[in-house]
Amino acid sequence: MTDYLTLQKRARAEFTVNRSRFIGTAAPVSSNEEAIAFVNEIRREFPDARHNVFAYAVREPEYARFSDDGEPSGTAGKPVLDVLRAPARPLTDAVIVVTRYFGGILLGTGGLVRAYTEGAKLAVEAAGVVKMCPCTVFDVSFPYNYYERAERLISSYGGIVESTDFADAVRFCLRLPEEKAAAFSLAITDLTNGAVAAIKTGEKYDAFPAEETP
């Protein structure tokens, strides 16, 4: 599992240039099918628009697609995809649709590229970007006299408790960044003098602010 950048939420932004209205809508997706469903949803929402240009990229299987939707080739869909694939911040599992209501003034090739690029950038800005990082899921049971110390230890390693069960012992189901998993397991052993072991039960992705590393 490797980390990747994607959109935080579904969002929309719009602007007008030379009386043409551009509406950028972006969302996180998890598959090719989900991306296409999103594009079709936006088309149904704006059936009277001149163009509903789109681009998307997904991780599994790795795939990207774009459409100019009637605009001159290379002036619309490709610029939107270029925003997703920006070298400094490439996004995946994400889709963008830029809708255009024609205002009667031709923008020219360069004007279209700039307008669709701006529509895509504004949509991404509104949606926000998060880093999806691999996390390890643990199941750990502590004697009650370790409860407070266990909570502090979990917090110190950036762990997120998914559930706590109070029975014969205090059982935590938690996840924490993958790179901290080995050290966390050792810390559990040290804390309890070998009486407790952290049991790995799985792996999953978790979202962190894009500018931070967990």
Same domain, 63 and 140: no
The reply to whether 214 falls in a domain is: no
Q: Which residues span the domain enclosing 142?
A: 131-209
How many domains in the chain?
2
Task: Supply the DSSP symbol for 179.
Answer: G
Query: How confident is residue 211, by pLDDT bands cut at 50, 70 and 90?
Result: low
4 close to 132: Cβ distance less than 8 angstroms: yes
Sequence-separated (6 or more) residues with CB below 8 Å from residue 57: 63, 64, 81, 84, 85, 91, 92, 93, 94
- Please say which residue of 112, 127, 142 terminates a domain: 127
Same domain, 145 and 100: no
- Please say which residue of 68, 101, 127 terminates a domain: 127
- Give the tens place of pLDDT for each residue, 58-100: 998 999 999 999 999 999 999 999 999 999 999 999 999 999 9
Same domain, 103 and 85: yes
Same domain, 111 and 167: no
Phi first, then psi, for residue 7 (nearest 5°) are: -85, 145
- Give the tens place of pLDDT for each residue, 146-181: 999 999 999 999 899 999 999 999 999 999 999 999
Element (H, E) at 142: strand 129-142
139 vs 128: CA distance, rounded Å: 32
Q: Is 18 left (phi over 0), alpha (psi -120 to 50) or beta?
A: left
- CA 105, 110, 113, 117 torsion-angle sign: negative
- Quickly count: other Cβ atoms within 10 Å of residue 158's Cβ: 15
The reply to whether 179 falls in a domain is: yes
Structure tokens at 119: 């529509």
Query: How confident is residue 213, by pLDDT bands cut at 50, 70 and 90?
Result: very low
**pTM for the model:** 0.82
Same domain, 161 and 115: no
Q: Give yes or no for residue 1 having a pLDDT over 80.
A: no
